[in-house]
Amino acid sequence: MARFLVTAGPTREALDPVRYLSNRSSGKMGYAICDAIITAGHEVVLVSGPTALESPVNADVIQVESAQEMYEECARQWQHCDALFAVAAVSDYRPSTMHSQKMKRASNQLSIELVANLDIVQTLAATKGERLVVGFALESENGEQHARQKLESKNLDFVCLNAPQSQGADVSELTVLHRDTQWQIGPCPKASLATKLVEVILENSNVY
């Protein structure tokens, strides 16, 4: 039995106590993958950003909000896991300043300085050794080209390519890339998609 670390959902990057930057990720795919891994007989620790979903049964669930919080929890858990499914839609950037009070409207224009967040999957993959790392890539153009670049530059074993319309959808599809091989899964409901994805990964990796 292997122990899987799964990330899911969006992150929220605070601008002030009221506002934040985020994205449209629902977390459905990550949560469905947790269920599929557990059904396959493995353990799961889920690090999740804010979602409206019920926690997967029999998973150890850790709730976080920001990209930094997600990284810190993942770094702690990664030491004790055999594989990583990095499904979360982590914000690439955060405001350089988090205002302590609600910002007041002062003019018709507002500029917000953003700074880059740490790339969580790349950072964890750098220390993977013989462990398995599966990443996700949501691309609006030249999808396969960008996904293969991520596969190589981030030291991933597999990368799962999807499209923006998959966010929040109940039916979706994935292109799974691995070295010189790829699989097309779906379109189908996300629960079925997750089951088929986990089957492909387990059949083509050294995780038992």
Between strands 20-21 and 93-95, the pairing is unpaired
Question: Which regions of the chain does DSSP assign to beta strands (E)?
Answer: 3-8, 13-14, 20-21, 43-48, 60-63, 83-86, 93-95, 114-116, 132-138, 158-162, 171-178, 181-189
| Spatial distance between the Cα atoms of 159 and 182, rounded to a whole number of angstroms | 10
Q: Are 120 and 73 in contact (CB under 8 A)?
A: no
Q: Give the span between the Cα atoms of 114 and 182, in whole angstroms.
A: 36
Active site includes 23? yes
Distance between first and last Cα of the chain = 6
The catalytically annotated residue of 23, 142, 162, 206 is 23
Residues serving a catalytic function are 23
